[in-house]
Amino acid sequence: MNETEQVTLVRVRGRLRDIALPSRCPACGAAAGVPLRVERVFVREHRRQGVITHTTRGVTTYHVASISVPFCTACAARHMAERAATESPPSPLRTTVAMYGVVALVALAAALVFAAFIWNEIAGGWRPTLTFAAAIASGCAVFAGWFVVQAVNAWRASTTPPPTSITAAFDFGDRQMRRFEPEWREYRLRNAGYARAFTQANAARLWDDEGPLALRAARFRRIAGSLRIAAAAALIVVFVLLVLQAGAP
């Protein structure tokens, strides 16, 4: 494997727009000056096991991350040629977009129904029935808004073309961060010379699982876990004391 084909993994903390990019082409290592938009689609599973049935439930969300990366003129031309010659097949995510859209419309319709009910009945004065209707309308509106966002994200993911052989030279993963950790990503760089320049440019942001920030976050997680246990124990003690006090003559 030569230098151009070698893949180097570099972990850097910070958002994509905060990353320092060398003025070299990620594909061939030459001087770069033509910005190309590099996009990646990430699927995030939000699953939780049920308490009674132990059935895993949840939703799948889609997220598109992009960054403008400079490439050399020759590689940029190859990228455009590949993009023009490639016809993207229909995305299976269109069904997901439709499903999320339908759920959003149903929730929005329910919110409007309750809002209309409040509008028609408020002339008689505010009463507990209207408070309940307002709570339901607000919940449906929030539910509809969340699914609208997910439908838009799924639509963006469905229209994002796959990387070409050029933009694949600069690859990156989804954001990573455990509790109390800053956001970081893993970058997969095909050109070894570019990888060295990229590492040097982001030397102050390199992420290490054994570094001070990671160790401090791990310490905070342990402290938070201990505090949760102490809080749960305190609640149990308070509950027992209240029960004993209520049962005392």
The whole-number pLDDT of residue 45 equals: 83
Return the percent helix, strand and coil in the chain, to nearest 5.
55, 20, 25
In whole angstroms, give the CA distance from residue 119 to residue 116. 5
The whole-number pLDDT of residue 2 equals: 47
In whole angstroms, give the CA distance from residue 127 to residue 158. 47
- Asked if residue 92 has pLDDT above 50, the reply is yes
Q: Would you say 207 and 13 are in contact if contact means Cβ atoms under 8 Å apart? A: yes
Which residues, in sequence order, are CB contacts of 35 under 8 Å at separation 6+? 68, 69, 70, 71
The whole-number pLDDT of residue 210 equals: 87
Q: Would you say 202 and 10 are in contact if contact means Cβ atoms under 8 Å apart? A: yes
Residue written as tokens 């151009």?
4
Domain-wise residue ranges, the chain: 1-88+161-207, 89-159, 216-249
Q: Would you say 215 and 178 are in contact if contact means Cβ atoms under 8 Å apart? A: no
Per-residue model confidence as pLDDT tens digits over 14-44: 999 999 999 999 999 999 999 999 999 999 8
For the chain, how long is the longest CA-to-CA vector? 90
Per-residue model confidence as pLDDT tens digits over 36-79: 999 999 998 876 655 555 555 677 889 999 999 999 999 999 99
Higher pLDDT, 216 or 243: 216
The whole-number pLDDT of residue 1 equals: 41
Report residue 118 CA to chain centroid gap. 37
CA neighbor of 187 nearest in space, from 30, 176, 178, 177: 176
How far, CA to CA in Å, does 79 sit from each of 86, 157, 186, 217? 11, 20, 23, 41
Residue 237: its H or E element: helix 212-247
In whole angstroms, give the CA distance from residue 245 to residue 191. 72
**What is the pTM (predicted TM-score) of this model?**
0.77
Q: What's the pLDDT band for 123 if we cut at 50, 70, 90? A: confident
Contacts 24+ apart (CB under 8 A), 2-5: 3/191, 3/192, 3/193, 4/28, 4/29, 4/190, 4/191, 4/192, 5/190
Per-residue model confidence as pLDDT tens digits over 138-164: 999 999 999 999 999 999 998 898 999
Q: What's the pLDDT band for 247 if we cut at 50, 70, 90? A: low
Per-residue model confidence as pLDDT tens digits over 171-191: 999 998 888 889 999 999 999
Higher pLDDT, 246 or 62: 62
What integer best gives the mean pLDDT of the chain? 88
The rounded percent of the chain whose pLDDT value lies above 90 is: 57
